[in-house]
Amino acid sequence: MSRDVQCQLCPKRCVIPPGMAGDCRVRMNLDGKLTAVTYGHPVAVHVDPMEKKPLFHFLPGSPVFSVATTGCNLHCTHCQNWEISQAAPHEVPAYDLPPDEVVRLAQAKGCEAIAYTYTEPIVFYEYTYDTSAAARAAGLRNVLVTAGYINPGPFRRLCKVTDAAIIDLKAMSDAHYRQTCGATLAPVLDTLRIAVEEGVWVEVLNLIIPTLNDDPRLIEALVRFVREELGPQVPLHFTGFHPDYQLRNLPPTPTETLLRARQVGLEAGLEQVFVGNRRGGAAESSWCPGCGALLIERVGFRVLQRRLRVGEDGAGSCPDCGRAIAGVWA
Ligand code: SF4
């Protein structure tokens, strides 16, 4: 007779009865064995600009092969990909694409990296891990686009095959995580600390939602966390909310709110703070924190101009004052 199994992957630690799935809907108890049923079956496969992830200081301007299966261990009321993130595997048509095939396609499309993205790569952990290992062996790099809700053990293991991560920090408020996302704050902070410690290139994303997490004290606390616990060189993206899914009663984030948050970050000593999902003018580009010179000019997901100097060792620096600019450039 089959028995319950417990998933130890994320802090929810679901106890799953036979034939049922955990809270993310994709990790199932099949005959007493915990099985990630979306393994090898992505529902979204695209080539994106790296800037769309958004990663601004990691291989700027390069195409990144992007895959996602269904499922997520968060349930954000404002999710923009809810048709696939909140769906059960049988509800969305999927491709049959084993890890080696993902790598082959990425190479055929001229991509230097593969992104695990759109939904939550943590819940399709084994597929993410195996594809990342195969990509590494083929000389490609790996990018995680994640909300970071995972236990430390499996995350450290995944970091060994991950080159860059854009990690969503939804607010420095446990209440916000519980009420808006069905999760908690502390594990996400641990994930951010671990990613930096493990040498993954990290950028942080904060989606500002009017009335829910736009309190200036929350923005200040978030900026302080990034500066003091991750480092001033870690880029921070403030992005604008669009009404979607279950949260259609709130207005889009005013551009001024995003620009004000950016100013708070810069005044606190963060070196790179960006505005996203809005035309942000200068706030979409990278500037030298030393002399203020333009380093990389962007509009939306497009790189218009690249003045950054990259040495033979791959290190970036300002072409005007020579200051080192953190990032993965080559
Ligand atoms: S990954 Fe899914 S099944 Fe596992 S503990 Fe988290 S929500 Fe539950």
Q: How far is CA 223 from CA 170, 228, 236, 318, in A?
A: 12, 9, 8, 24
Q: Is the CB of 279 under 6 A from ligand 1?
A: no
Q: Is the CB of 280 under 6 A from ligand 1?
A: no
Q: Model confidence over 225-235: pLDDT tens digits?
A: 999 999 999 99
Supply 101's token pair.
């095939």
Tell me which of 9, 26, 28, 122 to substitute to probe ligand 1's pocket, judged by most ligand atoms within 8 Å of the beta carbon: 9
Atom 3 of ligand 1 has which residue's CA nearest to it? 22
Tell me how far apart the alpha carbons of residues 216 and 264 are, in angstroms, rounded to a whole number: 9
Q: Which atom of ligand 1 is nearest to the CA of 8?
A: 5
Q: For the chain, where are the alpha helices, taking DSSP H only? A: 82-85, 99-108, 125-137, 152-159, 174-176, 186-197, 216-225, 255-267
**Residue ranges of the domains in the chain?**
40-284
For the chain, the maximum distance between any two Cα atoms, rounded to a whole number of angstroms, is 71
Tell me how far apart the alpha carbons of residues 259 and 255 are, in angstroms, rounded to a whole number: 6
Give the three-state DSSP class for 112.
Answer: coil
CA of 307 to the centre of ligand 1 (A): 44
Nearest to 19 by CA among 8, 7, 10, 27: 27
Supply 120's token pair.
């939550």
Decide: pTM greater than 0.75: yes
Q: Is the CB of 183 under 6 A from ligand 1?
A: no
Q: Is the CB of 10 under 6 A from ligand 1?
A: yes
CA of 275 to the centre of ligand 1 (A): 32
Atom 5 of ligand 1 has which residue's CA nearest to it? 13
CA of 112 to the centre of ligand 1 (A): 31
Tell me which of 14, 33, 124 to substitute to probe ligand 1's pocket, judged by most ligand atoms within 8 Å of the beta carbon: 14
Q: Is the CB of 23 under 6 A from ligand 1?
A: yes
Give the three-state DSSP class for 32.
Answer: coil
Q: Is the CB of 71 under 6 A from ligand 1?
A: no
Give the three-state DSSP class for 214.
Answer: coil
Nearest to 113 by CA among 65, 160, 159, 161: 65
The H helix count followed by the E strand count for the chain is 8, 18
Domain 40-284: assigned CATH number: 3.20.20.70
Tell me which of 5, 6, 7 to substitute to probe ligand 1's pocket, judged by most ligand atoms within 8 Å of the beta carbon: 7
Q: What is the pLDDT along the chain (330 residues), one digit of tens a residue?
A: 679 999 999 999 999 999 999 999 999 999 999 999 999 999 999 999 999 999 999 999 999 999 999 999 999 999 999 999 999 999 999 999 999 999 999 999 999 999 999 999 999 999 999 999 999 999 999 999 999 999 999 999 999 999 999 999 999 999 999 999 999 999 999 999 999 999 999 999 999 999 999 999 999 999 999 999 999 999 999 999 999 899 999 999 999 999 999 999 999 999 999 999 888 789 999 999 999 999 999 999 999 999 999 999 999 999 999 999 999 998
Q: Are 286 and 317 in contact (CB under 8 A)?
A: no
